Amino acid sequence: MSRPITSPTGHERTFGENEIIVSKTDLKGKIIYVNELFEKISGYTQKELLGQPHNIIRHPDMPRSIFHLAWETLKQGNEIFAYVKNMCKQGDHYWVLAHMAPSYDLQGTPVGYHSNRRCPNRENVAIMEGIYAELRQIESRATTPKEAILKARAHLDNLLSQKKLAYDEFIFSLT
């Protein structure tokens, strides 16, 4: 099953401060577990989600460079925190503060990834919307997908360098 052809509605869904959206994927990013809140907020059923690439919920407002950074970090065996705008099955969206980390078997071999997502601070979402808009604009001017990611990542790295912060430090400086 692929994502239904739908356009963003501009309508935001929210969830409670004490609620956590949880999902797990295999090493290729295919969903192997979702909790009930994931189903409820995304509008997809567990049956529709299992075996699908996690990017089934990717919102077009999310810069590809942020996902590149996330995958790069995860594949190095590190965790990452990021603000993410996801798209629901019917085109609504929801913002999360995602904590993504590798999952390991008993021998310490990576077997997949898990993500716990909390309700984000609204002021921080506004900050990230501005940054993400800049990154998307850079990506849109590139002639190839690879160039788009590299140029947007360079812009993000420059922004972080000016602030003298690593990405996670920047995220935590907002909260």
Residues 144-174 have pLDDT tens digits of 999 999 999 999 999 999 999 999 899 999 8
Share of the chain above pLDDT 90, in %: 95
Question: Looking at the predicted structure, is the pLDDT value of residue 41 above 70?
Answer: yes
Burial class (CB in 10 A: 0-12, 13-18, 19+), 175: exposed
Mean pLDDT of the chain: 95
- 3 — pLDDT class (breaks 50, 70, 90): low
- Burial pattern 19-43, b for ≥16 Cβ within 10 A else e, equals ebbebbbeeeeebbebeeebbebbb
**Parallel/antiparallel/unpaired status of strands 110-118 and 21-25:** antiparallel
Q: How much is the pLDDT for 5?
A: 60
Report the C-alpha gap between 157 and 23 in whole angstroms.
Answer: 28
Question: Looking at the predicted structure, is the pLDDT value of residue 11 above 80?
Answer: yes
In sequence order, the 6+-apart residues with CB closer than 8 A to the CB of 133 are none
Report the C-alpha gap between 55 and 68 in whole angstroms.
Answer: 12
> Looking at residues 27-37, what average pLDDT do you find?
97
In sequence order, the 6+-apart residues with CB closer than 8 A to the CB of 70 are 80, 82, 100
pLDDT in tens, 74-103: 999 999 999 999 999 999 999 999 999 999
Question: Looking at the predicted structure, is the pLDDT value of residue 2 above 60?
Answer: no
> Looking at residues 42-60, what average pLDDT do you find?
96
Q: Which of 62, 126, 89, 114 is CA-nearest to residue 2?
A: 89
Q: How far is CA 81 from CA 84, 134, 168, in A?
A: 9, 20, 6
Q: How much is the pLDDT for 6?
A: 80
Q: How much is the pLDDT for 31?
A: 98
